Amino acid sequence: MKKIMGLLLTTLLVMSLFVGCGSKEKDAEPTGGNDSNQSSSEKDQGNKGDNSADKPKVGVTIYKFDDNFMTYTRNAMTSAAEGNAELVMNDSQNNQSVQNDQVDVMINKGVKALVINLVDPGAAPTIADKAKAADIPLIFVNKEYPEGTDKIDYDKVWYVGTQSKESGDIQGKLVAEAWKAHPEWDRNGDGVMQYVMLMGEPGHPDAEARTKYSVEYIKDEGIRVEELEKQTGMWDATKGKELMTTWLGKEGDKIEMVLCNNDGMALGVVEALKADGYFSDGKYMPVVGVDAIPEALDLIQQDIMLGTVLNDPLNQGRVSIEMAINSAAGKDVLDGLDFSLDETKAVRIPYQPITKDNLDLAKKAYGME
Site residues (vs ligand BGC, CB under 6 A): 63, 67-70, 142-143, 204, 206, 235, 262, 264, 290-291, 311
Q: How far is the CB of 85 from ligand BGC (least distance, A)?
A: 23
CB of 187 to Ca ion, least distance (A): 6
Interface with Ca ion (CB under 5 A), residue from 9, 15, 21, 192: 192
Q: Which is nearer to ligand BGC, 63 or 145 (CB)?
A: 63
Cβ–Cβ < 8 Å for 85, 33: yes
Q: Which of Ca ion, ligand BGC, none does 67 bind, CB closer than 5 to 8 A by kind?
A: ligand BGC
Q: Least distance in Å: CB of 282 to Ca ion?
A: 18
Residues 6+ positions from 340 with CB-CB distance below 8 Å? 334, 347
Per partner kind, with CB cut-offs from 5 to 8 A, the member of Ca ion, ligand BGC, none near residue 142 is ligand BGC
Q: Which of 38, 52, 188, 246 binds Ca ion (CB under 5 A)?
A: 188
Nearer to ligand BGC, 196 or 310 (CB): 310
Phi, psi of 58 (to 5 degrees): -115, 125
Using rule CB under 5 A, residue 227 touches Ca ion: no
Q: Which is nearer to ligand BGC, 20 or 264 (CB)?
A: 264
Q: How far is the CB of 189 from Ca ion (least distance, A)?
A: 7
- Per CB under 5 A, the segment of 14-22, 48-56, 180-188, 257-265 that binds Ca ion is 180-188
Q: With respect to Ca ion, which residue has the nearer C-beta, 150 or 186?
A: 186
Residue 42 contacts Ca ion per CB under 5 A: no
Span near Ca ion by CB under 5 A; candidates 103-111, 113-121, 189-197, 350-358: 189-197
Q: How far is the CB of 235 from ligand BGC (least distance, A)?
A: 3
Q: Does 150 bind Ca ion (CB under 5 A)?
A: no
- For residue 251, the minimal CB distance to Ca ion (Å) is 12
Q: HEC string of the chain?
A: CHHHHHHHHHHHHHHHHHHHHHHHHHHCCECCCCCHHHHHHHHHHCCCCCHHHHCCEEEEEECCCCCHHHHHHHHHHHHHHCCCCEEEEEECCCCHHHHHHHHHHHHHCCCCEEEECCCCHHHHHHHHHHHHHHCCCEEEECCCCCCCHHHCCCCCEEEEECCHHHHHHHHHHHHHHHHHHCHHHCCCCCCEEEEEEEECCCCCHHHHHHHHHHHHHHHHCCCEEEEEEEEECCCCHHHHHHHHHHHHHHHHHHCCEEEECCHHHHHHHHHHHHHCCCCCCCCCCCEECCECCHHHHHHHHCCCCCEEEECCHHHHHHHHHHHHHHHHCCCCCCCCCCCCCCCCCEEECCCEEECHHHHHHHHHHCCCC
Contact flag: residue 186 with Ca ion (CB under 5 A):
yes
Q: Which does 190 bind (CB under 5 to 8 A by kind): Ca ion, ligand BGC, none?
A: Ca ion
- Among Ca ion, ligand BGC, none, residue 192 binds (CB under 5-8 Å by kind): Ca ion
| Residues that bind Ca ion in the complex, under the rule CB under 5 A | 186, 188, 190, 192, 194
